[in-house]
Structure 1
Amino acid sequence: MKNIIHYKIASIGNGEEDILLVDAKTTTFVIRDVLPSTKYTLKVIACAIKNKEERSDEVVHITQDPGKPENLTAINIDNGIKLTWTKPDYPAINCIKHYKVSCTLNGNESIHLVSSGTTSFVRPDVLPSTPYTLKVILCTINDIEMESGEVLHITADPGKPENLTAINIDNGIKLTWTKPDYPAINCIKHYKVSCTLNGNESIHLVSSGTTSFVIPNVLPSTPYTLKVILCTINNIEMESDEVLHITAGSKNLLIECNGYLVSCDVDSKVHNKIIHSDVFLEKDFSGEDVLDFAKLFFTSYHIARKNLPSTFWRYIFLPVIEKKDSNVCLFLLTIVNGMTTDQWEKCRQYVLDGLSRSMINQDKDTSKVIAWFVTKKCFQSLDKSIRENITDIWPAFICNCHTKQQVICSDKIEINIEINAYRPDLPDSFSKIDIHYIIDDRAQIKEGFQIHQHLQSSSGNIHSSNEATLSSIDARHLFIEHSNLSLVCKSPFKSNGFRKNEQKVIIQSCYQLYCKRKGFIPIGENHFPETLYGLKTDVLEGSPHYRSSLKVGNKIGTDEYKTGTLGGFVQVRGDIAFLTCLHVFLNAAELASDNLSLDDENKVPVKLYMDNDYTHICGKIREIAFAVDNEKETSIDAALVEIPADSIINSDYVDIEGGNISFNDIALDIVSLNKATVVYSIHLDLHIENG
């Protein structure tokens, strides 16, 4: 047949007919998205001018059966059995309606539906030490089902109660333990607490949600053997390790004898005859001859009985501050660390007064002990959801000095909290101490930004002195001595007057010391040095970040003109570069110039623009080409931008939201377009394929 315009492919399957048009030069065609196990009647119609048609003979083709789910695997996890499988090569995912997961226990089968795009399922609430028969059924949109092979899986044995601990309390023995990771709590029927005395065992039942029990009516100074037994709902029992616990004797006394404090265990036979059993509350500890151990012993005794007198802070704590005894201060605060919120509210002013005194006394070590005690209390007061997002917390004092003659130049402190993201319920103070939040949002600080602008706009003729080089040993020492320090680097520019709002940037070689917060010095640390190897230091606020990798589709350009798109990566004479349009960097008049060229000594810098308004120079224009005035030739509008070789991440090649695309995913075998082979084949076979 002559003068064929196109072909029509007629396909009848499952009672429905589809007509598809094919170019006249094509003699093969793949019919996509066919149903599995389905008969299709096919014919080709040649269409010529004047509506002439010529039909081929019909051919009947039955598509192949769908495959079955493969590689069925079951593993135990904390909350059940995790079942995974792989999708068969055929059919395509859009022909799969869903999967059915069959789970059989003791002859009873349960069916769970799973979406077609998922190849895993968690069967919750399984019984421990129990066999389950599992299989997966693939269901197509034309209601054909294909079963995987069965897998017999036995769930894990239940764990045993752990961390068994017994302590003496006034009315007996308090036993605590931790629940094992497996099984889930709803599979635990209860716990049995076993208490054995002189060979006689008593059993106490405890609910599944409880991990403590008080054994009442115990004898003093008597050994008890204790253990906990976990009982599951399918009647499996797991015993903890045994613990041998000796109960306390009768109530002890703390008495003063010839200037010494003596702890006495009172015999049970005479216990009821003791008229008083508590040590004095108002002992005078102000004398120089009182041992530090006596102070610690007195404090520990009253903390255990929750009756620490207020005179403790005046006669023990504050005198220790005045003596600059940081070790005794640390021990005292360690003893009182377990105080309740109410107790803290009553004594916090003494603690803060002690902190202020130690800072005024230039006592770096004691100030650090007290400041971190307060910071810990602050951290513990925060909601759990806030604590989980904190990356660091540290106390600091405000630096108001200019001469740095004092180690601690003020007694005004703040608690700095580094946190992942801001939230409106963050408290702004703790016990009248301000809280400052350092949030990693990459906001540009004015002072550091101006330095950065000067560095990027410099012509390249300004260089830092190479005479002073900071060794790795000295750099490590700087970071150890200054926990606020985040980056050290040499710079040809130095900032001046930013604290006085007389901002300017001058040309002067210096060492830049970037810190997480400028003007605040972590308590217990020194000021930053004013010079390093003869060069002035310049303290700036900021933290280093890894530069974002370059991706196809990134927004690039210059601040002076407009922006464009990163088109693709190429390799030129061994160097890595990317392609974009020249009109992104030049205006119409410059493009129309007869002598369009690029100054090799002053290559145009190209910037990468991120969604969070963060920018940085990613390369410089290396070559350009522009030709649009010959209508018989292909137009050229191109700029070649040279980039660092490590700017490309192979697995994150294209700029998209919600995932990564590698260069293989877009049919390239390497990252460079001019070196790549397209790994995609077009079928020109003259027979019908399942697709």
Structure 2
Amino acid sequence: MDDNYMDISRDLDDARSFTEDVTFPFQKEVFSTYMDVDAEDNIEKSKGLDEEYLLDNIELNKLCTNEGRTSPNVKKECDKICTAIKTKSDKIVHVVPAYKTNDETKIIFVVFAQSEITLETRWKLEVRIVYQYSDESKCAMYCANNNPLSTESSRKIGKIIDKYSMELMHNHTYLSVISASPVVSKHYGTSNYKTESVSCIALYVIVKHFIPINEEPFPQMLDGIPVDVREGGVQFCGASAEDFHDQVRMGCKITSTFQPQKHGTLGGFVEHPDYGLCGITCAHVVLNDKWKFALKEKMKVKEKEMEPCALFQPSYDRIKQALYK
């Protein structure tokens, strides 16, 4: 019964918070996989380095204008500055020299920190907290015109993502998720913000508008499909499927009171129009034979038609609805 599946609703304190933990077709956990080896090797050397021996922002931008942002000299100076900035606080996780598309000769250092910090330096900074993103992706996900993609559009975009995903992930260090979306988000953070009902490829980066100096901007189109860049990331839970999770996640081990001796995997999450935030799993994971046969016969069984059944991970909720296809 591989095509059987269950909708499982869970009452969460923050039902919307799941959006940043959802697993998409192509993803990578940027901070856990990135190894800032060069910076770590040079931390001790830079601790006694006076900033007056490093190029300031004006000098650095002049060098960038004369030689180009990808030149070895620009990279060398930026590496030294990144290392110097990182030594200013133990809360700093990583520093990235970046530029904006409207002027790639002006370098901005994006500082990723564990919590709020105040830094005084000779360089232009953009400070971000690790794993904190703008709400643009949530606004796009829950906008009124966010209707499900048609099967045809979903398959078409899926093939394009398959075609370009490895190249995109390789060329863009801080790209964390690639997914399909039924809407394009425009002008977020301004009074002109809007979403348009246009099928697109959504690229999620840990910080939007700031491009690493050794990388190029994302393409605006991929095989005729618009590209929409948003902020977002993947944060692995760091626990096994059998461990207790404060917020249930995809991949958690679950069981039910119908057949507690059997276990299975919690799939993804959906926003159900009647039940709210729901999880999905296979019917054989939580239903006994009686209700599996009933489901096959009726095609759809709702909570009120069934005997009470609790689900565990190891906390619990109730089966809301079962479908057969």
Equivalent in the alignment of 2:115: 422
Determine which structure has more spread, i.e. the larger CA radius of gyration: 1
Give SS of 1:370's match: helix
Is the Cα contact below 8 Å between 1:570 and 1:576 reproduced in 2?
Answer: no
Q: Deviations over 1:161-213 (max 9, x none)?
A: xxxxxxxxxxxxxxxxxxxxxxxxxxxxxxxxxxxxxxxxxxxxxxxxxxxxx
Structure 1 pair 368–347 and aligned structure 2 pair: CA distance change class (3 A):
same
Q: From 185, 195, 198, give the equivalent of 1:508.
A: 198
Counterpart of 2:79, as a letter, is W
Is the Cα contact below 8 Å between 2:255 and 2:263 reproduced in 1?
Answer: no
Looking at secondary structure, tell me which structure has more strand per residue. Answer: 1
Supply the distance in 2 between the matched residues of 1:577 and 1:494 (Cα, whole angstroms).
32
Supply the distance in 1 between the matched residues of 2:257 and 2:181 (Cα, whole angstroms).
32
Equivalent in the alignment of 1:541: 231
Q: From 99, 118, 122, give the equivalent of 1:397.
A: 99
How far off its partner does 1:489 sit? 1.3
**Matches of residues 69-148 of structure 1 in structure 2 within 5 Å?**
none
How far off its partner does 1:467 sit? 3.2
Q: From 645, 649, 654, give the equivalent of 2:315.
A: 654
How far off its partner does 1:555 sit? 9.2
Q: From 183, 187, 204, give the equivalent of 1:493.
A: 183
Q: Deviations over 1:97-143 (max 9, x none)?
A: xxxxxxxxxxxxxxxxxxxxxxxxxxxxxxxxxxxxxxxxxxxxxxx
Give SS of 1:372's match: helix
Equivalent in the alignment of 1:358: 63
Supply the distance in 2 between the matched residues of 1:436 and 1:530 (Cα, whole angstroms).
27
Aligned residues: 242
Structure 1 pair 435–470 and aligned structure 2 pair: CA distance change class (3 A):
same
**Matches of residues 679-690 of structure 1 in structure 2 within 5 Å?**
none
How far off its partner does 1:377 sit? 1.2
Structure 1 pair 355–570 and aligned structure 2 pair: CA distance change class (3 A):
farther
Give SS of 1:470's match: helix
Structure 1 pair 358–526 and aligned structure 2 pair: CA distance change class (3 A):
farther
Equivalent in the alignment of 2:138: 449
Structure 1 pair 457–532 and aligned structure 2 pair: CA distance change class (3 A):
closer
Structure 1 pair 625–457 and aligned structure 2 pair: CA distance change class (3 A):
farther
State the 4+ residue runs in structure 1 displaced beyond 6 angstroms: 547-556, 574-578
How far off its partner does 1:458 sit? 3.2
Q: From 272, 282, 302, give the equivalent of 1:623.
A: 302
Is the Cα contact below 8 Å between 1:397 and 1:412 reproduced in 2?
Answer: yes
How far off its partner does 1:545 sit? 3.9
Counterpart of 1:413, as a letter, is I
**Matches of residues 291-310 of structure 1 in structure 2 within 5 Å?**
none
Equivalent in the alignment of 2:10: none
Supply the distance in 2 between the matched residues of 1:378 and 1:553 (Cα, whole angstroms).
36
Counterpart of 1:346, as a letter, is E
Supply the distance in 2 between the matched residues of 1:517 and 1:550 (Cα, whole angstroms).
33
Equivalent in the alignment of 1:77: none
Give SS of 1:466's match: helix
Supply the distance in 2 between the matched residues of 1:378 and 1:360 (Cα, whole angstroms).
23
Whether 2:130 is the aligned partner of 1:439: answer: yes
Higher relative contact order (CA 8 A, sep 6+): 2
Counterpart of 1:618, as a letter, is G
Is the Cα contact below 8 Å between 2:111 and 2:127 reproduced in 1?
Answer: yes
**Matches of residues 363-378 of structure 1 in structure 2 within 5 Å?**
363-365=69-71, 366-378=73-85
TM-score by length of 2: 0.58
Is the Cα contact below 8 Å between 1:355 and 1:367 reproduced in 2?
Answer: yes
Give SS of 1:374's match: helix
How far off its partner does 1:463 sit? 6.0
Equivalent in the alignment of 2:214: 524
Give SS of 1:489's match: strand
Give SS of 1:487's match: strand
Supply the distance in 2 between the matched residues of 1:460 and 1:339 (Cα, whole angstroms).
52
TM-score by length of 1: 0.30
Give SS of 2:182's match: strand
Structure 1 pair 606–479 and aligned structure 2 pair: CA distance change class (3 A):
same
Equivalent in the alignment of 2:251: none
Supply the distance in 2 between the matched residues of 1:605 and 1:465 (Cα, whole angstroms).
24
Q: Deviations over 1:211-258 (max 9, x none)?
A: xxxxxxxxxxxxxxxxxxxxxxxxxxxxxxxxxxxxxxxxxxxxxxxx
Structure 1 pair 625–550 and aligned structure 2 pair: CA distance change class (3 A):
farther
Is the Cα contact below 8 Å between 1:514 and 1:539 reproduced in 2?
Answer: yes
Structure 1 pair 439–509 and aligned structure 2 pair: CA distance change class (3 A):
same
Equivalent in the alignment of 2:164: 474
Give SS of 2:198's match: strand
Equivalent in the alignment of 2:147: 458
**Matches of residues 401-416 of structure 1 in structure 2 within 5 Å?**
401=102, 409-416=104-111
Equivalent in the alignment of 1:681: none
Structure 1 pair 459–379 and aligned structure 2 pair: CA distance change class (3 A):
closer
Question: Unmatched 5+ residue regions in structure 2?
Answer: 1-41, 249-253, 282-299, 320-325
Give SS of 1:451's match: helix
How far off its partner does 1:410 sit? 4.5
How far off its partner does 1:500 sit? 4.0
How far off its partner does 1:398 sit? 3.4
Whether 2:35 is the aligned partner of 1:345: answer: no
Q: Deviations over 1:451-496 (max 9, x none)?
A: 2224997367576353352365632221221112111112222112
Is the Cα contact below 8 Å between 2:183 and 2:197 reproduced in 1?
Answer: yes
Equivalent in the alignment of 1:106: none
Supply the distance in 2 between the matched residues of 1:546 and 1:455 (Cα, whole angstroms).
30
Structure 1 pair 502–554 and aligned structure 2 pair: CA distance change class (3 A):
same
Equivalent in the alignment of 2:8: none
Looking at secondary structure, tell me which structure has more helix per residue. Answer: 2
Structure 1 pair 506–519 and aligned structure 2 pair: CA distance change class (3 A):
same
Is the Cα contact below 8 Å between 2:56 and 2:122 reproduced in 1?
Answer: no
Is the Cα contact below 8 Å between 1:487 and 1:543 reproduced in 2?
Answer: yes
Supply the distance in 2 between the matched residues of 1:555 and 1:346 (Cα, whole angstroms).
48
Q: Deviations over 1:355-410 (max 9, x none)?
A: 21132233422333321220011113334xx35xx2x33222234x3xxxxxx534
How far off its partner does 1:654 sit? 2.9
Counterpart of 1:344, as a letter, is D
Identity %: 17
Is the Cα contact below 8 Å between 1:530 and 1:537 reproduced in 2?
Answer: yes
Supply the distance in 2 between the matched residues of 1:351 and 1:474 (Cα, whole angstroms).
38
Supply the distance in 1 between the matched residues of 2:234 and 2:195 (Cα, whole angstroms).
21
Give SS of 1:464's match: helix
Structure 1 pair 555–510 and aligned structure 2 pair: CA distance change class (3 A):
closer
Supply the distance in 1 between the matched residues of 2:82 and 2:216 (Cα, whole angstroms).
19
Structure 1 pair 459–346 and aligned structure 2 pair: CA distance change class (3 A):
closer
Supply the distance in 2 between the matched residues of 1:353 and 1:518 (Cα, whole angstroms).
24
Supply the distance in 1 between the matched residues of 2:245 and 2:98 (Cα, whole angstroms).
44
Counterpart of 1:517, as a letter, is V
Structure 1 pair 538–550 and aligned structure 2 pair: CA distance change class (3 A):
farther
Equivalent in the alignment of 1:194: none
Is the Cα contact below 8 Å between 1:464 and 1:490 reproduced in 2?
Answer: no
Structure 1 pair 346–428 and aligned structure 2 pair: CA distance change class (3 A):
closer
Give SS of 1:508's match: coil
